[in-house]
Structure 1
Amino acid sequence: MPVGPPPRRGLNVLAASGVLLVLFTAQFLGALLPNAPLLCAAGAGGLGFELALRRWRPGTLSPLNRLRFDETVRQLLRDLLSVVGVGHLADLGGAAGLLLVGGLLACYAAHFLCRAVGVLVRRQRTLPVLTRNVDADELRLSPAPPRLLTSPIRRVPLLSAPATVGLLVTAATGGPAWGLLGVGVSLALFCGAAGRLATWLLPAKRPPAQEAVLEWFRRWLAEYRPEVGLYFSGGSGTAYQANMWLSTMAALDRRALVVLRERPMLQQIAATDLPVVCLPRVANLMLLEHSSLKVLIHPANAPRTSQVLRIPTIKHAFVNHGESDKLSSCNPYAKVYDEVWVAGPAARRRYALADVGVDDRDVVEVGRPQLAPIRPAAGPPPARGPVTVLYAPTWEGWTDDPGNTSVILAGEQVVRALLADPRVRLLYKPHPMTGTVNREAAAADARIRALIAASAPPPAAAAAESGGAAEDGAPAAAAVADAMAGPIEPAEPASVSDTAEADAAEDGPPADSTSRPVAAGDGGMVRVGADDLERMGAQGAPAAGRAAGVAAAAETWAAAFWASQPARGHLVLTGPRPDIYSCFNQADVLIADVSSVVADHLASAKPYAVVNTSGLPAADFRAANPTVRAATILAPDAAGLGELLDSVVDPTLDRLATARAELTEYLLGPADPPSIVRFRRAVDELCAAADARRARQGETASPPAERSASPRSAR
């Protein structure tokens, strides 16, 4: 079931819609009575309100756009009411009235002409291949047009302002000159915008033809000669599934790249030195068949995965984006891959018990190399310090199984119990897809956030609580954190992405979901409003040592972020930063659901608890889910929480330490050899298998005489 906007944002949308309704009603009454002050005040107020929202609260009125009551329709209604009011209030002659109405209609004709030109520009600037970290200077890609020209969301209210103001002044004074002047200025602006946008259709700004771009990409593949690729396809909010494997791919001793299928995903992939290519069409994806690519690694199943599996020259390995006891961790679709790479013996056994068609000989244990940033426990928290509890529930999944997530049935009880304990500092990090399927999960998540917000100490108390840390640079750290990450819980979640969505639905060039400058670590600053083609030209080959610089900057940011927070302040953590591994390092104990978060957290050797909302008795729940064998089981009413916290404060009460160590090896594999070594070995062996297959196919395709002369035939 699709879920609506978060409650707070929903209230903002309703409030803004209510203001517009009142202003339109007032303008209608002013035109009908007629009443010049009422007409002018309401008309000017409506236009000013729209422009203010566009400047300071973008995306607030996006739901109205989905109802086809977009900026163009609202402006047309505003101008229609102004014309009606002018007809009642001003003494216009026949010629003046015709010029006024005709000029206003010409403004809208020029606006729609601009939209048509924008569609042509967008289609022309949609390349068959998009790249990051690849030198595309040869293509001579031009900058994108200004967003004012390509987006009617921005263009209509601003360029129509002179006409609206002129009509209202005419209604107030009775003289047609002001209306004619305003309409003339708006007409000139709309025509100028259309003409300016049309220059992007000229040869100087036109990108190369589709076949020329494909030929350039073929040459790049032949020159780079990739051997291993990370293949990913997914929708908004799923990029984390690929991002967690980027550092592992970069650590390989082979030429690697990232292959994507969706254009917006190109900018959602995290900073990396690896070449990133996006091939939306299947026909262009098949170019990989004739490349040197030997192995593709898949962190997720997706509808478009089946398309790349058609390439016979490439071997495919499924690594998943996390392992848990959920049925999704042994999906029958996994049998389509050449090999299934898992962390440890637990996953191998999981596939065997599931009997989904995955041959045990195709299961390879490689560990979890991306867990290297997780620091092992350094002992109990300081005697006077808080116990930092990380509550990281999973999402509701695609089914209605109440055991998927604890947010709905137990989240509020767990959070209330944690907030009531004076020893606890709570970090709440919900799954990024929470509430995308089930409205109840979204509502429960909102209530949990409200509970945490209500428990926050006043700013003065928080500052006093930080003690001397504030004098030692915490304000500066806070400034760094705010500049890089923004508020911990944004005041308007998803407002910018809604704007981009509305833009993309109109005539502007494809917009990314962030609409912000790309970090210098991604290949140089890219201006706000740049389209995919401009980014492709700006994000060329990375400078030497850039990846190390980006990693160091990320560590500096994380340190600054945590240092800027009150020592006992509860936090709601959303978005990609700080990541879950950074949260592991800050926390003393984890509370989670049956998910891959539990398995990853075991690398820290710290205590953890799993919330049982399945309805099973604790013993059956533990037997059914190997990942909870070393966990404290929490009931939906949070029973057992006190015992868990006591074991954190006093390690002598921790009776599960030995079980955690044993379970860690069962789930993640042995510590020696390191996981990255096992992963590289698996890559090498699968590459060798791909080479052997190509050799066999070459022998089969060669003429009989040539085969008889081969060394193998001679033997």
Structure 2
Amino acid sequence: MFVRWLCAVLRVRGVPDLLLVFVFGAGFALLPVFALLPSLWGFAAASAVSYLADEALHVRAPGFIRRMASLQFNRTMRFAARTVMLLALIERMDAPDRVLAAGLAVFSAHFASTMLYSAVHRAIRLRRVLPVAVRNLDMSEAGLPKQPPAFLYRRFLRRLLHLDVPAHAGLLAALAAGTWYPAAIGYGLTAVVSAAAVLALLGQYRAARRTPRRDELIQEVNRQLAGYRPEVALYFSFAAVSRDFMYQVNMWIETLEQLDRRPVIILREQASFRFLSRTSLPVVCVPKADDLAELDLSGVRVVLYPGNAGKNVHMLRIAEAKHVFIGHGDSDKLASSNRVSKVYDEIWVAGRAGRDRYRRVRHAISNDAIVEVGRPQLAPIRLDADHTPGPLPVVLYAPTWEGWSDDDCHTSLIPMGVTLVEKLLAENVRVIYKPHPLTGKRSREATEADRAIRAMLNADNEQREAAQTQAAVAAAAPRLAEIQAQLDALTGRSVGDYAEQTRTARVPGLDGADEWQALRTEWHRVFWESRGQIRHNVILKQLPTLYECFNQADILVSDVSSVVADFVASLKPYVLTNAQDLPDDEFRAAYTTAGGAYLLDRDCTRLPEILRSVREPRHDPMALDRRTLKEYVLGPDSPTSMERFNTAVNTLAARSEAELAEDDRALDLPFPAQRTDSAPALGNTGLPDRPVSLGNA
């Protein structure tokens, strides 16, 4: 328990990293001791240990490095402390005064050059902060300068500070040999290379000064948008809160690409670019509201919002467009029928269940404003009839996260997650564990439960796995990495900062989509084949996707979330956790998706009986209820969800165009009514400053 507490305090992952921290601390603690004794070889050993442990901790325990920086013992301070101890050693070993003076001058000049380099680097970085960053528009005419070479621009402080190594090594060698030539050589190398680095970066600053002005860049983006003529916009903000929110955009990309009308994606945080999936659609990122107001979006007739955020108001103020909340999954959570949705012209839900959910919120949303469009994303999910069971039942455990407050905490991880997995392992099943991307963002209890579950599954894998399975996983790793690199190359992201990504942005070709799909299919095939049919799997990354996990599973165990609503499309058995042990009738009345679910009590006493629905498919009393529920939650199979979604976009866009035409005719009257923008004021929007989670998609 003490070790776990210490790891949490020091922000390290386990005992190996904790030992590395102790080695690091011992190295620094011994530096003044060996300097004052004095002990040349002891000091050299402690200095080497401090260097190597420092670099290892940057790779293995970045949280510990950040904790030290918060305590004012950052990297620069550590290098300065090491240098001061070296100068103390020289003085204690009665080195000539000229050697000590030269060392003091060289190290002072080195740190001064580091400060100057940092100032120039900051000036370049500020010059390269653009008001707009884009993808999939041709920005070759914008005149953006290239990013400085990586060895000068990225992780520059780490490289600069290590330029003191020649001087350190030269001094130690001189003390050991009794001659001062090694010290002079080390001094010279440190001084010359430091000065050369500063001069090289100053040359890059001259190039950075040619960055176009704000108005010039926005004008070029508007010129490109005018050539594309977007009609539909997907507008998104949240990534500044957490990168994990980007799944809310990525789930809609393929749907947007199939629309009849021309879509554009508008992001509000530049961090979103890194986690945006592959798309051939134009992407425009505008962090500031003033810059967004200057974009020419006059042709946009429909704006789609996958999430509720305060910055939505910056787009809602556009009166010429129709604004639609599409969410990021249909869920029984209260957030899925939020009163904030009144600011939108329409709310699009999957099926009748979504409509009824809003109707239960009295005086909030009119029935006419709700449109049932299905869930186009669910096409990859295979039906139960097409599923081939393996030798062991496959249970997908996909709990939701803890929410923004205890009031909306729906996760089963905290009250029953560990117990559930223990009982599953006792039932001899194969577990696929996929927690929500935001698990542990707010609750330490959720983090601890998540770690305990991962540890149990890993330990059980060690007991049940054959040597050939472990070998297959290791053999597949290079191929999976190779495919992942190809997928990353096809995303449209280029190497470099956001200004460099904008500089190299071009209109994509038409042949990337097929290759993208083929690579993703191949990745999933290699992944699942290498894992075998008895190995538990912990899924934490974007791949394998949630829906591919659906296709592997025989049964789902989850909480009240959109994951359950999506899984209903497969018609496979699923389980809802009832951590509060509410009476079954009361629970089913409260949550629509419980109508086709097996309900699991907090102590998991019902689990063996529930698993009979998988082991004995004829013993599945909820099968008929799931079929009825599917149409209620997700809508009919015909027309398809994609057809219904596309029709909804076209209908609303046509309505917007008709209203604008009517307003234009009104302007021709002798005394036209004044056309106003009815958007809410920017300072009092009523929208939440933080996201409203609608599901566990």
Q: Normalising by structure 2, what TM-score? A: 0.90
Does the 8 Å CA contact 2:399/2:559 hold for their aligned counterparts?
A: yes
In structure 1, which of residues 143, 146, 150 is the aligned counterpart of residue 149 of structure 2? Answer: 146
**Equivalent pairs: percent with the same residue?**
38
Q: Is 79-88 or 178-187 further displaced after alignment?
A: 178-187
Distance in 2 between residues matched to 1:696 and 1:405, nearest whole Å: 50
**Structure 1 residues 450-471: Cα deviation after superposition (integer angstroms, max 9, x where no partner):** 00011013697152699xxx7x
Does the 8 Å CA contact 1:630/1:663 hold for their aligned counterparts?
A: yes
Once the two structures are TM-superposed, the CA of residue 16 in structure 1 deviates from its matched residue by 3.5
Q: Which residue of 2 aligns with 1:371?
A: 378
Q: Which residue of 2 aligns with 1:523?
A: 492
Distance in 2 between residues matched to 1:204 and 1:117, nearest whole Å: 11
Does the 8 Å CA contact 1:465/1:566 hold for their aligned counterparts?
A: no
Q: Which amino acid aligns with 1:264?
A: A
Distance in 2 between residues matched to 1:460 and 1:584, nearest whole Å: 23
Does the 8 Å CA contact 1:646/1:653 hold for their aligned counterparts?
A: yes
Does the 8 Å CA contact 1:394/1:431 hold for their aligned counterparts?
A: yes
Does the 8 Å CA contact 2:401/2:409 hold for their aligned counterparts?
A: no
Structural mapping, 1:81-100, within 5 Å: 81-93=85-97, 95-100=98-103
Distance in 2 between residues matched to 1:133 and 1:348, nearest whole Å: 36
Partner secondary structure for residue 596 of structure 2: coil
Distance in 1 between residues matched to 2:664 and 2:311, nearest whole Å: 29
Residues 650 and 56 of structure 1, relative CA distance in 2, 3 Å threshold? closer
- 2:465 counterpart of 1:456: no
**Structure 1 residues 411-436: Cα deviation after superposition (integer angstroms, max 9, x where no partner):** 111101111122x1110000010000
Partner secondary structure for residue 254 of structure 1: coil
Q: Which residue of 1 aligns with 2:189?
A: 185
Distance in 2 between residues matched to 1:449 and 1:159, nearest whole Å: 42
Once the two structures are TM-superposed, the CA of residue 155 in structure 1 deviates from its matched residue by 2.0
Q: Which residue of 1 aligns with 2:256?
A: 249
Does the 8 Å CA contact 1:90/1:171 hold for their aligned counterparts?
A: no
Q: Which residue of 2 aligns with 1:545?
A: 511
Does the 8 Å CA contact 2:339/2:365 hold for their aligned counterparts?
A: yes
Q: Which residue of 1 aligns with 2:45?
A: 41
In structure 2, which of residues 258, 261, 265 is the aligned counterpart of residue 258 of structure 1? Answer: 265
Q: Which residue of 2 aligns with 1:412?
A: 418
Once the two structures are TM-superposed, the CA of residue 300 in structure 1 deviates from its matched residue by 0.7
Distance in 2 between residues matched to 1:136 and 1:74, nearest whole Å: 43
Distance in 2 between residues matched to 1:162 and 1:171, nearest whole Å: 14
Please report the RMSD computed on the Cα atoms of aligned residues, expressed in angstroms.
2.6
Once the two structures are TM-superposed, the CA of residue 620 in structure 1 deviates from its matched residue by 1.1
Q: Which residue of 1 aligns with 2:574?
A: 608
- 2:645 counterpart of 1:676: no
Residues 200 and 624 of structure 1, relative CA distance in 2, 3 Å threshold? same
Q: Which residue of 2 aligns with 1:445?
A: 450
Distance in 2 between residues matched to 1:55 and 1:652, nearest whole Å: 53
Distance in 2 between residues matched to 1:4 and 1:316, nearest whole Å: 45
Partner secondary structure for residue 414 of structure 2: coil
Once the two structures are TM-superposed, the CA of residue 69 in structure 1 deviates from its matched residue by 1.9
Q: Which residue of 1 aligns with 2:358?
A: 351
Q: Normalising by structure 1, what TM-score? A: 0.87
Give unpaired runs (5+ residues) of structure 2: 1-6, 674-697
Q: Which amino acid aligns with 2:440?
A: G
In structure 1, which of residues 660, 666, 674 is the aligned counterpart of residue 626 of structure 2? Answer: 660
Distance in 2 between residues matched to 1:60 and 1:545, nearest whole Å: 45
Distance in 1 between residues matched to 2:232 and 2:26, nearest whole Å: 60
Once the two structures are TM-superposed, the CA of residue 405 in structure 1 deviates from its matched residue by 0.3
Q: Which residue of 1 aligns with 2:282?
A: 275
Distance in 1 between residues matched to 2:223 and 2:525, nearest whole Å: 43
In structure 1, which of residues 63, 78, 90 is the aligned counterpart of residue 67 of structure 2? Answer: 63
Residues 141 and 517 of structure 1, relative CA distance in 2, 3 Å threshold? farther
Partner secondary structure for residue 585 of structure 1: helix
**Structure 1 residues 277-307: Cα deviation after superposition (integer angstroms, max 9, x where no partner):** 1011111111346531111111111121122
Once the two structures are TM-superposed, the CA of residue 6 in structure 1 deviates from its matched residue by 11
Partner secondary structure for residue 568 of structure 2: helix
Give unpaired runs (5+ residues) of structure 1: 486-515, 708-715
Q: Which residue of 2 aligns with 1:509?
A: none
Does the 8 Å CA contact 1:222/1:291 hold for their aligned counterparts?
A: no
Q: Which amino acid aligns with 2:571?
A: A
Does the 8 Å CA contact 1:149/1:194 hold for their aligned counterparts?
A: no
Q: Is 30-39 or 569-578 further displaced after alignment?
A: 30-39
Distance in 2 between residues matched to 1:38 and 1:571, nearest whole Å: 47
Partner secondary structure for residue 202 of structure 2: helix
Q: Which amino acid aligns with 2:401?
A: W
Q: Which residue of 1 aligns with 2:430?
A: 425
Distance in 1 between residues matched to 2:396 and 2:634, nearest whole Å: 21
Q: Which amino acid aligns with 2:550?
A: F
Q: Is 194-203 or 548-557 further displaced after alignment?
A: 194-203
Once the two structures are TM-superposed, the CA of residue 137 in structure 1 deviates from its matched residue by 1.2
Once the two structures are TM-superposed, the CA of residue 667 in structure 1 deviates from its matched residue by 0.6
- 2:262 counterpart of 1:296: no
Distance in 1 between residues matched to 2:9 and 2:367, nearest whole Å: 45
In structure 2, which of residues 121, 125, 140 is the aligned counterpart of residue 118 of structure 1? Answer: 121
Structural mapping, 1:457-606, within 5 Å: 457=462, 461-463=466-468, 477=476, 479-484=478-483, 519-523=488-492, 526-527=494-495, 530-606=496-572
Once the two structures are TM-superposed, the CA of residue 169 in structure 1 deviates from its matched residue by 2.8
Once the two structures are TM-superposed, the CA of residue 549 in structure 1 deviates from its matched residue by 1.6
Partner secondary structure for residue 652 of structure 2: helix
In structure 1, which of residues 16, 22, 32 is the aligned counterpart of residue 20 of structure 2? Answer: 16
Residues 311 and 66 of structure 1, relative CA distance in 2, 3 Å threshold? farther
